[in-house]
Amino acid sequence: MAAAGEPHGSLYDTIIVGAGIQGSFTAYHLAKRGKETLLLEQFPLPHSRGSSHGQSRIIRSAYPQEHYARMMAESYRLWERLEAEAGTQLYRQTGLLVLGPSADPEFQSCCRTLAQHRVPGQLFTSESLCRCFPGIRPYCGEVAVLDHTAGVLYADRALRAVQDGFRRCGGALRDGEKVTGITPGVVVTVTTSGGVYRAKTLVITAGPWANKLLAPLGLQLPLQTLRINVCYWQEKVPGAYGVSAHFPCLLAIRANQASHHIYGLPSNEYPGLVKICYHSGSPADPEERDRLPEASALPDIQILCDFVSKYLPGLGPQPALVEHCMYTNTPDEDFVLDRHPTFSNIIMGAGFSGHGFKLAPVVGKLLCELSLGEAPSYALEPFRICRFPAQPHSAL
Ligand SMILES: Cc1cc2nc3c(=O)[nH]c(=O)nc-3n(C[C@H](O)[C@H](O)[C@H](O)COP(=O)(O)OP(=O)(O)OC[C@H]3O[C@@H](n4cnc5c(N)ncnc54)[C@H](O)[C@@H]3O)c2cc1C
Ligand SMILES: O=C(O)[C@@H]1CCCC=N1
């Protein structure tokens, strides 16, 4: 007899745990290829408790690491295809300025990968920056490179579009069903709060909950979950830093000696509000994200206040609105895309370290290929779990 929740008593080809942007794109690719696919999500959709919610994300070709720069051309094409299928705008081209000291190795690597991949770019000195972007007060000696391809992805809309695309291809999405048990085997059995399901392969894309699901499978990845303050700043002159005024996205490397990058998006989603954030946060369990931290636990906001008042003087000096989101960071901030070292039909996508949204179409394709036992379209060395000390080697 079929277990509760199974379609016609049959086996799924793949079950995916977690309908954030990575799990949803994995499911979409599998369903497009005609695979019987089940996507499970613990919360009723849409929800704002993981990493994929919110109005906007940056998309850019400018990456210091060659392995991400190489994936971006295909990622842009896949976003464009989804946009056409969904019949709605998901991407707005704004350009992105990478700002930093000219001798900074990360800045130089961004310039190099842009040139290598023939991405249209433009260099600015401090003087030409001030002339072209009067809203910016660069630091002494700071330079910039403009990645013309970059822009904003409308995140909530994109997540919905990929889930709708998955369903249109015949995929099954069950939200409000938390996975509570995974029994490995040639056939993997997945128990949820709503039923029991079986599949030939399982993909775990659980964002900040990844290690909670992996613990009973005998694996713990070196992941740190961080609570991120998403800060919006009021324009003194409405629209001055807006998309219509052609203000670009920003990525400031080593701004004000800060240990992490500061990034920004032009005003668009909330009229009159510019998103400027610190690329780090405070360690937090995803279940406790909304517990208010003490004021002393907000050093990132102080760093941002100093940055905004000196660097972007056309914005108010304090955030006008703060939202929250989670990062799941690996020690080197490279993703984990690999098989479970013991159970080779269990695949993991984790540790997207605050920069995975733009790459989700390609990440989903790679996780789809791994789950089908195919050769991956891109070299997976940077993403293997064997790069971490004291972790068993991949079963690949
Ligand atoms: C503030 C902020 C700004 C960012 N900016 C950018 C940017 O500009 N550009 C960029 O490219 N990236 C950016 N990112 C990163 C990007 O958003 C993330 O890398 C990406 O959303 C991670 O997606 P995910 O699917 O891995 O995780 P999630 O979105 O967290 O999805 C995991 C899902 O798994 C579900 N789940 C977990 N456990 C279970 C269970 N037991 N049963 C069922 N379901 C379960 C969760 O509920 C969740 O829905 C940003 C992230 C944040 C937080
Ligand atoms: O991935 C991105 O582009 C953003 C900005 C830089 C830091 C993290 N996310």
- ipTM comes to 0.99
- The Cα 139–Cα 104 span in angstroms is 14
pLDDT at 256: 73
Tens-digit pLDDT profile for residues 335-347:
999 999 999 999 9
pLDDT at 117: 97
Of 197, 159, 187, 242, nearest in space to 17 by CA = 197
- Cα 230 to Cα 10, 165, 327: the distances in Å are 44, 29, 11
- Ligand 1 centroid, distance to 381 Cα (angstroms): 22
The two beta strands, 282-283 and 224-234, are antiparallel
Q: With the C-alpha atoms ordered 303, 319, 329, 266, is the resulting torsion angle positive or negative?
A: negative
- Ligand 2 centroid, distance to 377 Cα (angstroms): 24
pLDDT at 76: 98
Which H or E element spans position 57?
strand 56-59
Tell me which residue has its CA closest to atom 25 in ligand 1: 20
Q: Residues with Cβ within 6 A of ligand 1?
A: 17-23, 40-43, 50-52, 57-58, 178-179, 205-209, 213, 228, 230, 277, 325-327, 352, 354-358
pLDDT at 3: 43
pLDDT at 8: 45
The alpha carbon torsion through 82, 84, 88, 93 (nearest 10 deg) reads 80
The residue to which tokens 């006008």 are assigned: 320
Q: Which residues of the chain have pLDDT under 70?
A: 1-9, 292-298, 391-396
- The Cα 385–Cα 11 span in angstroms is 29
**Tokens standing for residue 79:** 């976003």
**Closest-lying ligand 1 atom to the alpha carbon of residue 228:** 1
pLDDT at 10: 79
- Ligand 1 centroid, distance to 118 Cα (angstroms): 30
Other CB atoms within a 10 A radius of the CB of residue 329 amount to 20
Tell me which residue has its CA closest to atom 5 in ligand 2: 263
pLDDT at 295: 55
The residue to which tokens 């409000």 are assigned: 176
Tell me which residue has its CA closest to atom 51 in ligand 1: 354
CB-based contacts of 119, cutoff 8 Å, min separation 6: 61, 62, 113, 147, 148, 149
| Contact assessment for residue 252 and residue 100, using Cβ atoms and an 8 Å cutoff | yes
The alpha carbon torsion through 364, 354, 318, 315 (nearest 10 deg) reads -60
**Tokens standing for residue 394:** 């991949």
- The Cα 173–Cα 15 span in angstroms is 10
The string of DSSP letters for 154-222 reads EHHHHHHHHHHHHHHTT-EEE-S--EEEEE-SSSEEEEESS-EEEEEEEEE--GGGHHHHHGGGT----
The SS3 of residue 225 is strand
The string of DSSP letters for 289-346 reads TTSPPPGGG-HHHHHHHHHHHHH-TTB-SS-SEEEEEEEEE-TTS--EEEE-SS-TTE
**Tokens standing for residue 25:** 């794109």
